[in-house]
Amino acid sequence: MADLIFFTGPMDCGKSTLALQLDHTQRVGGRAGLLCTSQDRSGAARISSRLGLVESAVEVGDEVDLWTHVVHALTGGARIDYLVCDEAQFYSPVQIDQLARIVDELSIDVYAFGILSDFRTELFPGSKRLVELADRIETMQVQPLCWCGKRATHNARTGGGRMVTEGSQVVVGDTTSETAAAGEPSPEVGYEVLCRRHHRRRMNRAVAQATLSPEPLPFGEPDHA
């Protein structure tokens, strides 16, 4: 029996990497898949992981009917055993319903990957529908950390280095934690993953660095004896 599985976690936790690993493993095992994405950071119709893996994919724009697309492909002679759907938070609820229909009526597995909530902590409509319809929800094993060391559960949007709480739900962009940690200038719009406490306090890494007093330095060298 086919399944609709939603793999979710904050930005930068390895979703696209797992999507491509899963596709590779299934193909090596003799199954045929269809890769789909929506508004990948690379700007092209592809699934791209920060680890460097890249594969071309069907771009799921608003106008795409996933049910019709898959039925046309099958009647044209293609074999499809599974779908890998990255950036699924950007799919419309109607498209998520089409994915569920593909699972139930065509017995094709659908592996969807995406973030649950936006920079204001509100659910993306596509993710909400996935939570409602999925056979299973899988939480990612790699857990990014907030600057404080706690597990990062929330996505923050930054502008000029500070957290912003207003704006369009969709603004494609990348995480800036590495550039921030290296003291490089912040881009116009970036993202940073934070624990809930620091998301609520709007305290991202740059703000914390600017406002928190430095830890007192220990006296002398540590004693390793």
Ligand X SMILES: Nc1ncnc2c1ncn2[C@@H]1O[C@H](COP(=O)(O)OP(=O)(O)O)[C@@H](O)[C@H]1O
Ligand Y SMILES: Cc1cn([C@H]2C[C@H](O)[C@@H](COP(=O)(O)O)O2)c(=O)[nH]c1=O
Residues in CB range of 79: below 8 A, 6 or more apart: 32
Query: Which of 17, 95, 153, 204 is close enough to bind ligand X by CB under 6 A?
Result: 17
Query: Which of 4, 5, 13, 112 is close enough to bind ligand X by CB under 6 A?
Result: 13
Query: Which of 123, 137, 164, 172 is close enough to bind ligand Y by CB under 6 A?
Result: 172
44 sits near ligand X (criterion: CB under 6 A): no
118 sits near ligand Y (criterion: CB under 6 A): yes
Q: How many CB atoms lie within 10 A of CB 11?
A: 21
DSSP helix/strand/coil, 176:
coil
Q: Is 63 a catalytic residue?
A: no
Contact 70, 102 (CB under 8 A): yes
Please check if 164 is assigned to a binding site: no
Please check if 170 is assigned to a binding site: yes
Query: Which of 16, 37, 95, 204 is close enough to bind ligand Y by CB under 6 A?
Result: 16
Query: Which pair of tokens denotes residue 73?
Result: 């492909």
Contact 52, 20 (CB under 8 A): no
Query: Which pair of tokens denotes residue 160?
Result: 């000029």
DSSP helix/strand/coil, 157:
strand
Size, binding site for ligand X by CB under 6 A: 12
Residues in CB range of 188: below 8 A, 6 or more apart: 159, 160
11 sits near ligand X (criterion: CB under 6 A): yes
14 sits near ligand X (criterion: CB under 6 A): yes
Contact 22, 35 (CB under 8 A): no
The window from 9-17, 20-28, 76-84, 158-166 that contacts ligand Y (CB under 6 A) reads 9-17
Query: Which pair of tokens denotes residue 158?
Result: 């930054």
Q: Which partner from the list ligand X, ligand Y, none does 17 bind, CB cut-off 5 to 8 Å by kind?
A: ligand X
Size, binding site for ligand Y by CB under 6 A: 16
Indicate the residue whose CB is closest to ligand Y.
118
Side chain identity at 135, as an amino acid letter? D
Query: Which of 16, 95, 176, 186 is close enough to bind ligand X by CB under 6 A?
Result: 16
Q: Which partner from the list ligand X, ligand Y, none does 170 bind, CB cut-off 5 to 8 Å by kind?
A: ligand Y
Contact 54, 86 (CB under 8 A): no
Side chain identity at 24, as an amino acid letter? H
Which residues does the annotation mark as catalytic? 87
Q: Provide the binding-site residues for ligand X, judged by CB under 6 A.
A: 11-17, 49-51, 142, 144
Residues near ligand Y (CB under 6 A) are 11-12, 15-16, 41, 115, 118-119, 155, 157, 169-173, 191
